[in-house]
Amino acid sequence: MGLDFFRNLSPKEDQTRCFRAQLDLSKSLNLPVIIHDREAHKETLSILNEEKAWETGGVIHCFSGDIKMATACVDMGFYISIPGTVTFNNAKTLHGVVKKVPLKNLLIETDAPFLAPVPFRGKRNEPAHVKLVAEKIAQIKNISPEEVAYATTKNAKTLFSLP
């Protein structure tokens, strides 16, 4: 759920109305949310605050914001999900987010079939590529890939109440 003002396949007003309704539903079911935010950072943060989305928490999928947004999301109890774009040399803002956001607040994703990490950039993304994302996070944070894998797995289990 969320807002996508990049493609604008639906009017902003419709997206906003549906987003609010879905957040309300998640609260009534006490389920975490997975937030899609593309070219709508300000609006997404505003709605998350107004709708008290911290009551259920969740994850900001395929994070593309800056450290200010990441900090605001983490302060609301959200995880930041790091996609394959973190392996791109020109992803300096995302590198900064990874460096500053604590490991306890990160998740890893593939965003399959899109946004494949280097060396698969431009090709179909696959879940197996998540290893490359973990390796890049480890490099940025100067820790082992195993530590990243352990922490992000623990985070996913916590978020989704898995054993």
**7-54 confidence digits (pLDDT tens):** 878 999 999 999 999 999 999 999 999 999 999 999 999 999 999 999
- Give the strand pairing for 2-4 and 33-38: parallel
In the predicted structure, residue 112 carries a pLDDT above the cut 90: no
Cα 152 to chain center, whole Å? 12
Q: Which domain holds residue 143?
A: 2-159
Identify the band that residue 128 occupies on the pLDDT scale cut at 50, 70 and 90: very high
What distances in angstroms separate CA 158 from CA 31, 82, 119, 133, 150, one per listed residue?
12, 17, 31, 20, 12
Are residues 60 and 81 in contact, defined by beta-carbon separation less than 8 angstroms? yes
Q: Domain with 109 in it: what CATH number?
A: 3.20.20.140
Beta bridge partners of 107: 81
The confidence score (pLDDT) of residue 156 equals 96
**47-68 confidence digits (pLDDT tens):** 999 999 999 999 999 999 999 9
Domain count for the chain, please give it: 1
Q: Nearest Cα to 155, choosing from 62, 78, 56? A: 78
The number of C-alpha atoms within 13 Å of 62 and in the hemisphere containing its C-beta is 18
Mean pLDDT of the chain: 96
CA distance 125 to 131: 12
CA distance 104 to 141: 13
